[in-house]
Structure 1
Amino acid sequence: MQAARWLSSTSARTLQETTSTLQAVAEEWLSHQAGRWEANTLARTRASLEADVFPALGSTPIAEITTRQVMEVVKKIEARGAGEIAMRVLQRIKAIYRYATTHQHIDRNPMGDLVPSEILKPRRVQHRAALGPADLPEFLSKLDAYQGDPHTVHALRLLMLTAARPGEIRSACWTEFDLAAKLWRIPAERMKMRTEHVVPLSAQAIAVVESMKPMSGHRDLVFPSPFYPSKPLSENTFNSAMARMGYKYLATAHGFRALFSTVANEAGWNADAIERQLAHAERDQVRAAYDRGSRLPERVKLMEWWANYLDSRRVGKVVPLHQLAA
């Protein structure tokens, strides 16, 4: 009887392994991730699998795919000059196999020992182009004189004053702002790390938000598209405006975060407070819980200092950083 049950379970498992193709398990994995990922992240991940993995391996039972086949797929991507995509595809395949093992599509994970650095060539990390402190007077002058859409101008100003990500600014809603408390609470579902982010607002940042009330105070979005008011500013809006100001290839909107980090660190502000302001995840969960409760008062002072620093650079004034931080 026990032997019969063992044979029955073994046969069922073998049948599952031979009928569970890589594409079928990948679709199951994607559905599992849908609740925790942003729609564009899910779409990008699916698109990369459809373009580079499914044509070669999608119809193959997941248990029959070898590490050599996976290596051939990612090295083919790398050969066309897409090293970053090759790295991400390999990571996604490994994640699919971990899911398949956990959910008993396969008995063991043959991809667990694949090490990206042993398969793909080293890549030179390219950071987003960013302004330096010395570039600020000219940029701020050009921003003040910019004749483009006022939604974009004010959004760029708030982007600089808060060190938020461009996407967080573009989709900001009026319900997230408590101007009396001088706080902007970005909900978890809009954050990269899926954790609510509280942003202290300087007097200058509040003035920018207040200036939007006549233009969008009757809408959900603070910075709606001037063409489709129910939608936020488009993803390329900020960089397109900067290109028209003469900064194409020289700086990106995301680069303001790097500028803020550089200047604040050089001025001697606490590194943990700076990282919390940038909404960078703390790997230590105990420390992360502590930081959420203890860094806000320091970040209030930090962002007031940062706004005053930007004002000083607007008029070309050179003030020692330690003097500003005092």
Structure 2
Amino acid sequence: MNNTFEAVARKWHADQAAKPDKWKPDHAGRVIRSLELHIFPDLARRQIGEIMPLEVLGLLQRLEAAGKHDTAHKVYDVVNQVFRYAVMLRLCIFNPAAELRGELAQVEQKHYRTITDPEKIGGLLRALDGYTGSPQTRALLQLSPYVFARPSELRLLRWCEIDWEARQYRKDGEEMKNGIGHIVPLSRQAIAILEGLKPVTGHHEFVFANIGSKKPLSEGAARKALARLGFLDQITPHGFRHMASTRLNEMGFNSDWIERQLAHKDPNATRTAYNHAEYLEQRAEMVQAWADYLDGLKAQSGILQQTGG
């Protein structure tokens, strides 16, 4: 076996990517690209057993100096796993990355901008209804607060994943961040939005397809639309999840139902997989109550706007 850092790293990467329960294809792509961009240019041809901690630290600190603190931590995690793999194969006497634990600057926890004040939520919903861009983008914005799925999950929704009779859509584990399949019950309001979009993109694979390319809307489409509406400084596409989670908890809904609807991974390590239909009946009732609540806020916002209140 070629014992250069690149050869060992690619062997490790191939082993991990081959495990069906380990990585999704898009994650595997991000991992190898991070190595190709930030590590291989300097360490690719080095014998992995000869690399010292300070060499690795220098590459990570270069990222920090460029203001890429989050990237530095992610690259460190990857490099650390490569060296652990090499130690396991007895290609290294020790893991030089392990010596660097605590050397990188701490990254502040990311907080997504969101709106939780009921009156402001109502104003936001009215603004989303008034969006004058493409019908696909408007529908994506309108559906986001009702469904509160991860932005990528919703943006990549396919028509074939929607069960109209059951009023739900289903996502395979390969497309979910946690690798676990997910059933999402839909409110009457969400179904109406999707039905309204069907004449526009129903003949395409993706619900939110670009008419020209037939590909789904870009990752930045929702952000650009929120910016155009003047709301991006108050809420991000991901912020709809936090908005729903905060309000639903305050409204007294069962936290297990909320967490399952958000497709958060079960923190109980003894459970290897969710039942796809876990709390499905309760979640269906919850999302309908949530949709009705949102419509009430939107109507109240309209009354306040008309009266100048």
Q: Which has the larger radius of gyration?
A: 1
Q: Does residue 1:136 correspond to 2:121, yes or no? A: yes
Does the Cα contact within 8 Å between 1:132 and 1:259 map onto a contact in 2? yes
Q: Does residue 1:297 correspond to 2:276, yes or no? A: no
**Partner of residue 161, structure 1:** 146
**Partner of residue 68, structure 1:** 54
* Aligned residue-pair number: 298
**Partner of residue 149, structure 1:** 134
Q: Does residue 1:99 correspond to 2:99, yes or no? A: no
Does the Cα contact within 8 Å between 2:158 and 2:205 map onto a contact in 1? yes
Aligned equivalents of 1:250, 1:47: Cα separation in 2? 32
Does the Cα contact within 8 Å between 2:123 and 2:301 map onto a contact in 1? no
Q: Does residue 1:30 correspond to 2:13, yes or no? A: yes
**Partner of residue 176, structure 1:** 161
| Unmatched segments (≥5 aa) in structure 2 | 303-309
Per-residue deviation, 1:67? 2.2
Aligned equivalents of 1:208, 1:109: Cα separation in 2? 57
SS of the counterpart of 2:234? coil
| Unmatched segments (≥5 aa) in structure 1 | 1-15, 319-326
The CA RMSD over aligned residues, in Å, is 2.3
Distance 1:39 1:290, change over 3 A: closer
Percent identical across equivalent pairs?
35
Distance 1:288 1:262, change over 3 A: farther
Per-residue deviation, 1:50? 2.3
**For residues 132-281 of structure 1, what are the structure 2 equivalents within 5 Å?**
132-133=116-117, 134-229=119-214, 231-281=215-265
The aligned amino acid for 1:205 is A
Does the Cα contact within 8 Å between 1:30 and 1:46 map onto a contact in 2? yes
Aligned equivalents of 1:267, 1:291: Cα separation in 2? 26
Aligned equivalents of 1:105, 1:224: Cα separation in 2? 50
**Partner of residue 3, structure 1:** none
The aligned amino acid for 2:179 is R
Aligned equivalents of 1:208, 1:33: Cα separation in 2? 40
Q: TM-score, normalised by structure 2?
A: 0.88
The aligned amino acid for 2:236 is T
Per-residue deviation, 1:267? 1.1
**Partner of residue 323, structure 1:** none
Aligned equivalents of 1:42, 1:286: Cα separation in 2? 25
Q: TM-score, normalised by structure 1?
A: 0.84
What CA deviation, in whole Å up to 9, does each residue of 1:52-102 have, x standing for no partner?
212222211111112232222212222222211111111000111233344
What CA deviation, in whole Å up to 9, does each residue of 1:211-247 have, x standing for no partner?
1221222222111113312x11111110111111012
SS of the counterpart of 1:113? helix
- Which of these residues, 68, 74, 82, is aligned with residue 82 of structure 1? 68
Aligned equivalents of 2:4, 2:50: Cα separation in 1? 9
**For residues 111-126 of structure 1, what are the structure 2 equivalents within 5 Å?**
111=96, 113-114=98-99, 116=101, 118-126=102-110
Per-residue deviation, 1:204? 1.1
Distance 1:107 1:23, change over 3 A: closer
Aligned equivalents of 2:167, 2:49: Cα separation in 1? 55
- The range that moved more, 23-32 or 254-263, is 23-32
The aligned amino acid for 1:73 is L
The aligned amino acid for 2:4 is T
Does the Cα contact within 8 Å between 1:201 and 1:303 map onto a contact in 2? yes
Does the Cα contact within 8 Å between 1:20 and 1:105 map onto a contact in 2? no
Higher helix share: 1
Aligned equivalents of 1:294, 1:43: Cα separation in 2? 31
